[in-house]
Amino acid sequence: MTKYTVLSLILILCTVACNNHPIIDESKSISNRVWSIEQQPTFTVNIKDSLALYTIYLKIRHTSHYDYSNIFLLLHEKGDKLKDTSYLKEIKLSQTDGKWIGKSIASLYEVEYLAMNNFSFPDTGKYTFTIQQNMRDTQLEEIVDVGIKILKQ
């Protein structure tokens, strides 16, 4: 290979790698590890490219003392040229044998859930995402924090 071919390959790899940085990767703590239905963490993202496709992940961190094997969430989306939209998502937190899913550090577990793939925004500008727990219990114990990560594809 010539040095120009090698330099071209390096430039292409750097370009591809740089595009995988999230435009938002943020989490918010849940007070006293008790997520009430009234507590709805909100995240704002500024979309600069409405022609691009995006991948949206929801992030949940919980302790090993969380009572359920899953969690139901409502993901609310608001924007200037967008009708307020809600998406119901069920996130599995454990396998059928009770083993927790996700990354773990001591008794903490983190799950990144693919909420939307090939998602497009109708226009550029600011969008707000709000995450609301949607379980039968209005107080979920042992939820540490919740978050969102959006990647431009």
pLDDT tens digits for 125-149? 999 999 999 999 999 999 999 999 9
Report pLDDT for 7.
45
What are 114-128's pLDDT values in tens digits?
999 999 999 999 999
Whether residue 4 lies inside any domain: the answer is no
CATH value at residue 111: 2.60.120
- Assess if residue 16 is contained within a domain: no
Q: In this structure, is residue 12 part of a structural domain?
A: no
Output the pLDDT for position 80: 85
Say if residues 133 and 34 touch (Cβ distance below 8 Å): no
Question: How many domains does the chain divide into?
Answer: 1
CA 130 to mean position of chain CA atoms = 11
Domain assignment present for residue 142? The answer is yes
* Residues β-bridged to residue 110: 61, 103
The answer to whether residue 8 sits within a structural domain is: no
Each of the 153 residues of the chain gets a pLDDT tens digit; together they read 665 544 444 545 444 444 578 999 999 999 999 999 999 999 999 999 999 999 999 999 999 999 999 999 999 999 988 888 999 999 999 999 999 999 999 999 999 999 999 999 999 999 999 999 999 999 999 999 999 999 999
Strands 103-105 and 82-92: unpaired
pLDDT for 8 equals 47
Classified as helix, coil or strand, 12 is helix
11 assigned to some structural domain: no
Residue-level pLDDT at 82: 82
Domain membership of residue 10 (yes or no) is no
Q: What is the DSSP letter of 39?
A: -
Domain hosting residue 137, numbered range: 23-152
Considering the domain boundaries, does residue 5 fall inside one? no
